[in-house]
């Protein structure tokens, strides 16, 4: 796929994903009204908050973790959070950052710095903390998505789960450092600095919620994986987490200042604002900024490097400004600042089927091998025959559509994940664990007889243990996971691997083979399914080929 087309699909599809019906509120409380016994209070550094106790889990929604980011604080660090008197209700999710409205979630707002907590108990016990950054690229998403409901992780694995809303898109990543002076230093990274502020809040307050401030894992999927990659390389975030997991969103490189400046120039042009009068940006209604944002193409950062002077506008995302984000997260090497922090990284085997489903383009399902060549040539040119030949030899029983999915999926999320694993292990510090999620859903892509397999984003409900039997509060059939009871076992195992990693820094689960760290000698990969297995040097021939044509360093 062309990178520009990929991100267009990503933005559209993630909007749709996060607004999907069918998941509902996992483990609902039922129809009865809440009573005094259902409420639970907690003391924070800023005042007391009141949440609910539901089916053995204390849930606090919409706790503010920093102050306003509107008005004079737009494009700047948040205002200090003001303490409050009395008890602040934390019963409803806070608004997400400005974006198109989302079904079954709060209306977006410019002031959006709220977090949610799921904990087994506010009892002073030091449980591992799992701090999740939502997906949606850098332009959409919310900590209120039911797919990532943290209750089952807290309930069944005795961990504390935290999720934030944070600034996105133009409001979170407009680069003004070269125009606006020291008050706006780091403006191209406000979205990730918000997440860092959330981590700091957790460090200061999570003990009250039964969590251990000295045992925090950061993790995230898709855009949340890229955010996690950035946090892994940010000095301000470093004191507040101990391990990380990057899931179907490898952030090897981020936006350069030249590319970010080009995007800023395009925004000013769209708004008819002279760069000298940049302060007029503070007066533009947020809805108008969102409209401008929608006109600017988002192009994900490349694994490769652009020549100086060839920078084009890239949309909105973290900027390698030399201060907040001192260098690309994993280029040319893994960040020294996180050398001693264990890492998991990986991707889903059939990432592309998600995007085919969202774009309603099922043409790939009907191609033969001549059609496969025609479909790949626009992106890979003269390397196409070598790619097809390599994949056919490595997968002699695969059909043309299956090879297309394999090629598209590894290019989307796989090659970057391998780069991260290689560069992390080369440091010789804390271990890195590489995975492939491979549970196969039988759900068909609409308009075809082709099954989704393991599409992008399907891992969310699995790792949050939200694929559970009806007697445990789940549903007969899940949106992506399908209706086979096998998914319950795969979900439980994936959740146990993640929570054990959060607890100890080594992923493990009952009945799952020991997961060895990735090294340049064994290149061990855990394939996660109903029956998990460790595969050494997986995709060896394919990766050798990608290296030979310069797609993998």
Active site positions, annotated: 222, 351, 456
Contact 177, 184 (CB under 8 A): yes
Give the contacts of 397 (CB within 8 A, at least 6 positions apart): none
Neighbours of 370 (CB within 10 A): 9
With vertex at residue 86, the alpha carbon angle to CA 197 and CA 58, rounded to the nearest 5 degrees, is 60
What whole-number distance in Å separates Cα of residue 74 and Cα of residue 87?
29
Residue 179 corresponds to which tokens in the numbers above?
């125009």
The angle that helices 190-205 and 223-231 make with each other, rounded to 10 degrees, is 70
Instruction: Give, as one character, the DSSP assignment of residue 278.
Output: G
Contact 338, 212 (CB under 8 A): no
In the three-class reduction of DSSP (H, G, I as helix; E, B as strand; rest coil), residue 218 is classed as: strand
What whole-number distance in Å separates Cα of residue 40 and Cα of residue 208?
12
Phi and psi, residue 66, nearest 5°: -160, 175
What whole-number distance in Å separates Cα of residue 163 and Cα of residue 206?
13
Give the contacts of 12 (CB within 8 A, at least 6 positions apart): 358, 359
What is the enclosing helix (H) or strand (E) of 191?
A: helix 190-205
What whole-number distance in Å separates Cα of residue 96 and Cα of residue 280?
24
Contact 319, 326 (CB under 8 A): no
Strand 441-444 to 127-133 pairing: unpaired
Range 103-106, long-range pairs (CB < 8 A, 24+ positions): 103/19, 103/20, 103/21, 104/19, 104/21, 104/146, 105/18, 105/19, 105/142, 105/144, 105/145, 106/142, 106/144
List the beta strands (DSSP E) in 302-404.
343-348
Cis peptide before 332 (omega within 30 of 0): yes
What whole-number distance in Å separates Cα of residue 191 and Cα of residue 197?
10
Contact 518, 428 (CB under 8 A): no
Please report, in angstroms and rounded to a whole number, the separation of the first and last CA atoms in the chain. 20
CA 89 vs. chain centroid, Å, equals 28
What whole-number distance in Å separates Cα of residue 398 and Cα of residue 28?
43
Among the residues of 55-117, which ranges form H helices? none
Phi and psi, residue 290, nearest 5°: -65, -40
Give the contacts of 36 (CB within 8 A, at least 6 positions apart): none
């Amino acid at each position: 796929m062309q990178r520009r087309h990929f991100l267009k699909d990503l933005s559209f599809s993630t909007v749709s994903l996060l607004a999907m019906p069918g998941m509902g509120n996992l483990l609902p409380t039922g129809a009865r009204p809440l009573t005094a016994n259902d409420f639970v209070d907690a003391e924070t550094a800023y005042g007391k908050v009141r949440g609910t106790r539901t089916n053995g889990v204390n849930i606090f929604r919409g706790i503010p973790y920093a102050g306003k980011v509107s008005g004079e604080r737009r494009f700047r660090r948040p205002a200090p959070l003001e303490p409050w008197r009395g008890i602040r209700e934390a019963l409803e999710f806070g608004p997400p950052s400005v974006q198109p409205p989302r079904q079954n979630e709060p209306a977006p707002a410019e002031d959006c710095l709220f977090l949610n907590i799921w904990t087994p108990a506010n009892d002073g016990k030091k449980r591992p903390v799992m701090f999740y950054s939502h997906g949606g690229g850098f332009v959409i998403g919310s900590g209120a998505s039911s797919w990532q409901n943290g209750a089952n992780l807290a309930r069944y694995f005795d961990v504390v789960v935290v999720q934030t809303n944070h600034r996105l898109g133009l409001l979170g990543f407009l680069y003004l450092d070269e125009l606006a002076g020291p008050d706006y230093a780091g403006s191209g990274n406000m979205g990730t600095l918000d997440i860092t502020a959330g981590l700091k809040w957790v460090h200061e307050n999570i003990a009250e919620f039964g969590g251990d401030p000295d045992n925090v894992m950061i993790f995230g999927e898709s855009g949340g994986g890229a955010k996690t990659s950035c946090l892994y390389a940010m000095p301000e975030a470093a004191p507040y987490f101990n391990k990380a997991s990057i899931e179907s969103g490898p952030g090897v490189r981020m936006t350069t200042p030249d590319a970010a400046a080009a995007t800023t120039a395009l925004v000013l042009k769209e708004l008819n604002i002279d760069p000298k009068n940049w302060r007029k940006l503070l007066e533009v209604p947020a809805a108008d900024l969102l409209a401008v944002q929608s006109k600017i193409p988002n192009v994900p950062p490349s694994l490769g490097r652009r020549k100086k002077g060839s920078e084009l506008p890239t949309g909105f995302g973290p900027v390698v400004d030399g201060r907040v984000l001192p260098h690309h997260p994993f280029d040319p090497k893994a960040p020294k600042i996180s050398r001693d922090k264990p890492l998991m990284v990986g991707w889903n085997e059939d990432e592309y089927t998600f995007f085919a489903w969202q774009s309603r383009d099922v043409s790939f399902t009907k191609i033969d091998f001549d059609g496969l060549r025609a479909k790949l040539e626009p992106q890979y040119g003269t390397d196409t025959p070598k790619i097809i030949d390599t994949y056919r030899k490595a997968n002699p029983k695969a059909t043309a559509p299956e090879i297309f999915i394999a090629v598209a999926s590894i290019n989307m999320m796989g090659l970057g994940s391998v780069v991260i694993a290689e560069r992390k292990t080369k440091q010789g510090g804390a271990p890195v664990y590489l995975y492939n999620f491979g549970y196969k859903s039988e759900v068909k892509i609409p308009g075809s007889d082709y099954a989704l397999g393991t599409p992008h984003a399907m891992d969310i409900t699995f790792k949050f243990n939200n694929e559970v039997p009806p007697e445990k509060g789940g549903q007969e059939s899940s949106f992506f996971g399908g209706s086979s009871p096998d998914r319950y076992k795969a979900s439980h195992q994936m959740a146990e691997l993640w929570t054990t990693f959060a607890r100890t820094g080594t992923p493990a689960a009952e009945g799952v083979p020991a997961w060895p760290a990735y090294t340049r000698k064994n290149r061990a990969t855990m394939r996660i399914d109903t029956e998990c297995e460790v595969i050494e040097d997986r995709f060896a021939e394919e990766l050798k080929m990608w290296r030979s044509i310069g797609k993998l360093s």
